[in-house]
Amino acid sequence: MGHTLSEPITEKHSTSTDGSRLLYGASSMQGWRVTMEDAHTTLLEMKGYENMAFFAVFDGHGGANVAKFCGERLHTILAEQESFKTGNFRQSLIDTFLKADATLRILPEFKDEQAGCTAVVTLISNDRIICGNAGDSRAVLCSKGEAIPLSHDHKPMDPDESARIVNAGGFVEAGRVNGALALSRAIGDFNYKNPELAVDKQLVISYPDVIEQEMGPDDEFIVMACDGIWDCFTNQQVVNFVREKIAAGVELDKICEQLMDRCLAPKSMMTGIGCDNMTIVIVGLLQGDTKEKWIQKCSRPSNFHAEPHLGRIVQKLDNSWTFWFMHRSPTAKNLTSSYGDNIKKIASFDTVEGFWGVYSHLKRATEVPSITEYNLFKSGIKPMWEYIKDTENQNGGKIMLRLRKGVVTRLWEKLILVVIGNQNHFSSDICGLVLSIRQFEDIISVWNKTSSDKDLIQDLKNKLAELLELPSGTIVDYKVHNSHHKDQT
């Protein structure tokens, strides 16, 4: 997520316009980030194409230049495409993304540019919606209260994306391309693109997925936003929030501002959630109604209150899991009190997709300071041995792997996948996992329920050594929670 400020910049840049076919509100906020790298475009009518609207969100990384270029130029590049002129809008978005990427590569001012950006673009005609996406910004349609995806995130751990990355000579580590980039499609990012490979065979490609559909009578509005929003709320939660505000008579630009305030983290957490730049565009689909009638339409009762419309197969896990985070000052004297005050819940998940949605945005072990912990526990179990109030932990203990600096990231990710995936029923006795970053070593702890079963503990140790392929010389200890608590170790 990049470096953060000591205090967030909460000034918002908002616009709104009401048209005869559509109305929109848009807003952006720098937040905790040192620089603003987002850009967006809002056109109720494209020049020369009065019945075609263009809306886009671009989330930059490594700098703002590529996102700024796309925000200023992508709609003009689209209008130049022969496929657009002939009405092949699906192909025109593909041509536009590829053309923008190729143009950036040859422009002198971008000669040494290493930045990139996501791009989610929605075209709206009188009766059709066409959305093209590369990266992890997102567009969602609200149809009678139901959140329907118009795009799907491109993440390195997606099987198809991962296969392409490996075939291009790269690797995926900690949910990132070559251990660095947390998305697998983008415009720019030329340090991940080999001129000798085809445009759709690169480590990171600008080739978009395109969803085209007819506008339905129940369709109410579209929300487009960068991952600074979607990291905090699900599609359905965002749709519910927006719909409730519309029904209350709040203008669309103000809804954008209020949603960003809801997403903003109260503190600059190492997790990055709520600390990113934020950009939101909301487009109201009038479909011949007046604004007043459209508001009434958005006020209709809805049965969609919790789960998002997933639009693809979801891989459920055997258990629900929760990530926690703790950073403690090295000068803290009361360790028990300090730990309790500083441990924070990040997010819970019960699907493979939910895991990667959280994990890919966490800072890696090499990026966090000493006396920092990531905790991953079965939901309902708190990672706080100091109090020993949790019945799941009262009679347990933990296996501790003491590791030299520099090797923990790969082992941590591999251990998580083994445990949450319940490989060979590996996690049946496991309560949670802890990654402790220290000054001279890193420690991975595996908490289990039963400290009295010596055979079970030895079996867990053997499985850990086999599955993780532990480096030679790795010290493996076991401590019972009660003794650990008593010693205040």
Instruction: Say what the pLDDT of residue 329 is.
Output: 65
Helix axis angle, 89-106 relative to 65-80, nearest 10°? 130
Instruction: Say what the pLDDT of residue 386 is.
Output: 52
Instruction: Say what the pLDDT of residue 152 is.
Output: 95
Question: Are the C-beta atoms of residues 91 and 83 closer than 8 Å to each other?
Answer: yes
Strand partners, 434: 375, 445
Instruction: Say what the pLDDT of residue 394 is.
Output: 65
Q: What is the pTM of this model?
A: 0.74
Mean pLDDT for back-to-back runs of 10 residues, the chain (489 residues): 79 97 98 96 94 98 97 98 97 98 94 93 97 98 96 93 96 88 96 94 97 97 97 93 96 98 80 86 98 96 62 67 82 55 82 79 77 88 62 74 82 86 68 88 87 82 80 81 52
**Two tokens, residue 132:** 């093209």
Question: Are the C-beta atoms of residues 184 and 261 closer than 8 Å to each other?
Answer: no
Helix runs in 270-323, H state only: 291-298
Q: Where are the beta strands (DSSP E) in 264-365?
A: 278-285, 316-327, 344-351
Instruction: Say what the pLDDT of residue 332 is.
Output: 56
**Two tokens, residue 16:** 């709104």
User: What's 123's DSSP letter?
Assistant: E
Which domains are seen in the chain, by residue range? Answer: 4-299 (3.60.40.10), 316-480 (3.30.760.10)
Dihedral, 261, 262, 268, 270 alpha carbons, nearest 10: -140
**CB proximity list for 88: less than 8 A, separation 6 or greater:** none
Q: How many CB atoms lie within 10 A of CB 147?
A: 24
